[in-house]
Amino acid sequence: MKFEIERKYLLNKDKWANYEKPSGDFYRQGYILKDPAKTVRVRLTNSNAYITIKGSVKGISRVEYEYEIPQADAKELLDHFCSSELSKIRYKILFEGKVWEVDEFQGDNEGLIIAEIELESEDEKYNLPDWVIEDVTGDVRYYNSQLTEYPYKNWEKSKGL
């Protein structure tokens, strides 16, 4: 059984904008199943496609199974079987020996930028890049599956601001 151990962070947008980064990859991501106990996700990039099954989060860990699938299959699944989806540009940044995946969301989630780091254990020590500002690991609003239902563009309205 494979476990995903991950932390999520918000970024300082000014520092991130000025950071020299590699070109990003476009991701189209949809959900066949979204349930608090499990999700089934389809992801299509410029060069690959995956189907991923994730279990419920316990601490910062959850069971994850991910399999590469043909891109044509992923497009068909996204077009005909996913109940919701989002798009984003993902940057992979190597910082002090760890890969940070930084997502700049598009569409209804435009303006939201989240950095994720996968860890070997829940208590693994690591340093934060200077563009990281706030840990949002436990906040379900930042789960990609939640962003398809409650997009970032609606957050201020829902807070009554």
Query: Which residues does the annotation mark as catalytic?
Result: 31
By 3-state DSSP, what share of the chain in percent is helix, strand and coil, each rounded to 5? Answer: 20, 45, 30
Closest to 90 in 3D by CA, of 68, 115, 66, 70: 115
Closest to 141 in 3D by CA, of 94, 105, 93: 105
Rg of the chain on CA atoms, in Å: 16
Q: Kindly give, in sequence order, each residue whose CB lies less than 8 Å from that of residue 2, ignoring residues fewer than 6 positions away.
A: 63, 64, 65, 66
Q: How far apart are CA 27 and CA 109, in angstroms?
A: 13
